[in-house]
Structure 1
Amino acid sequence: MTDAMSQFRPLDPGRVNLMDPLEVQYWCRELGCSQDDLEHAVDAAGDHIAAVRAQLEERQGHHAGARRH
């Protein structure tokens, strides 16, 4: 990761902007997810960060549950 990326902060920290590649990288790092997962979460829940976090947690729960069976 470049130093510039480590200093990056989104203009609106309450929303995920999928149109900005730096912001996508930032949110993937912050949320511990892939770009694909981030895009699916935003598609399902909208761009508000709380909704995106909840969607990612729900997906992880479904995936973990599927592995247990």
Structure 2
Amino acid sequence: MTDNLTKRGQPDRSKINMHEAHEVKYWTRALGVTREELQKAAEKVGNSAAAVRKELGKEADAQ
């Protein structure tokens, strides 16, 4: 997702930015996890959405 909220292009959903509240909100809802679970997974495998999904066992839920 983009950090610049004025940009109208498609958000980059391949990365998770834990420093942006709107992204944390999106990813916790999309993956059905808590912020803490998301943070722990991102710290372990990095900010790649695919890697975080895999770590959380959510790869079948991929968009």
- Into which bin does the TM-score normalised by the smaller protein fall? 0.7 to 0.9
* TM-score between the two structures when normalised by the length of structure 1: 0.67
1:24 partnered with 2:24: yes
Q: Aligned residue for 1:38?
A: 38
Residue by residue over 1:21-56, the C-alpha shift from the partner in whole angstroms, topping out at 9 and shown as x without a partner, is 111000000011000000000001100011000111
Separation of aligned partners in 2, 1:56 and 1:37: 8
Partner of 1:4: none
Q: May I ask how many residue pairs the two structures share in their alignment?
A: 49
Q: CA deviation at 1:57?
A: 1.1
Taking only the aligned residue pairs, the percentage that are identical comes to 35
Pair member with larger Rg: 1
TM-score, normalised to structure 2, is 0.73
Stretches of structure 2 lacking an aligned partner (at least 5 in a row): 3-11, 59-63
